[in-house]
Amino acid sequence: MDVSTTLASIGRAAKMAAAELAFADSELKKSALINASKYLWDSRSEIMLANSKDIEFGKTKNLSDAMLDRLMLDETRIQSIKDSIQTVADQPEPVGQVLEDWNRPNG
């Protein structure tokens, strides 16, 4: 399978998953985020291996040190991403909630 076909397939799957999650209840959304967080952490070795190839390719394309640094993923950065996903999962469900309301004098 070529890269274009693979990316198109991933895109279609993501679009379908997004449509399902749009109407999912709070527990399903939270579960999806927690599972994504766990999968990310469990896949960190493969992610870092692929990332090292990206870094090497970036060097051949003369990316600046700043760009290479932004591209670089190590265990600390992956942990930070995982923690951020967990933080989102721990947030209260915002859908359907009114946080504040008021009436304006002009209607």
Q: Is residue 77 part of a domain?
A: yes
Residue 76 domain flag: yes
CB 5 within 8 A of CB 54: no
The predicted pLDDT at position 51 comes to: 98
Kindly list the distances between the CA atom of residue 56 and the CA atoms of 62, 70, 76, in Å, as whole numbers in the listed order: 10, 14, 20
Percent of the chain at pLDDT > 70 equals 99
Q: Is position 15 within any domain?
A: no
Query: Is residue 14 a part of any domain in this protein?
Result: no
**Could you tell me the pLDDT band of residue 40, with boundaries at 50, 70 and 90?**
very high
Q: What does the alpha-carbon distance between residue 70 and residue 55 come to, in Å, rounded to a whole number? A: 10
Distance CA(67)–CA(19), nearest Å, equals 33
Q: Does residue 4 lie in a domain region?
A: no
- Please check whether residue 7 lies inside any domain of the structure: no
Residue 1 falls within a domain, yes or no? Answer: no
Give me the number of domains the chain comprises: 1
Does this model's pTM top 0.85? no
Segments forming the whole domain that contains residue 49: 25-89
Which phi and psi (to 5°) does residue 62 adopt? 60, 40
Cβ neighbour number for residue 38 with a 10 Å cutoff = 13
